[in-house]
Structure 1
Amino acid sequence: MKKQMAYRIVLPLLAILSLPAAAQYTGPGAQAPVQSVAAAAAAKDDAVVDMTGFIVRQLTADKYLFSDGKQQIRVEIDSAVFPRQPINDKTRVRIRGELEKDFLESPEIDVKLVEVLK
Structure 2
Amino acid sequence: MKRILIATAFAVAAATAYAQYTGPSAIPAATVKSLQQDGKDDQQAVLRGKIVSNVGHERYLFSDGTGQMQVKIKASRWPAQKAVDASTTVELRGEYDKELIGESHFDVKEIRLP
TM-score (norm 2): 0.72
Letter in 2 for 1:100: D
Unaligned runs of 5+ in 1: 1-5, 17-22, 25-31
Structure 2 equivalent of residue 103 of structure 1: 100
- The answer as to whether partners of 2:40 and 2:96 remain within 8 angstroms in 1 is yes
User: Is 2:35 aligned against 1:48?
Assistant: no
Give 1:1-118 correspondences, 5 Å limit: 24=26, 33=28, 35-41=30-36, 42-84=38-80, 85-117=82-114
- The answer as to whether partners of 1:34 and 1:48 remain within 8 angstroms in 2 is no
Report how many aligned residue pairs link the two structures: 97
Unaligned runs of 5+ in 2: 1-12
- The answer as to whether partners of 2:45 and 2:96 remain within 8 angstroms in 1 is yes
- The answer as to whether partners of 2:39 and 2:98 remain within 8 angstroms in 1 is no
Shift of 1:101: 1.1
Structure 1 equivalent of residue 7 of structure 2: none
Q: Percent identity?
A: 30
RMSD: 2.7
Shift of 1:44: 0.7
Q: Name the SS of the counterpart of 1:38 in structure 2.
A: helix
Q: Displaced runs of 4+ in structure 1, greater than 3 A? A: none
Q: Distance in 1 between matches of 2:29 and 2:103?
A: 16
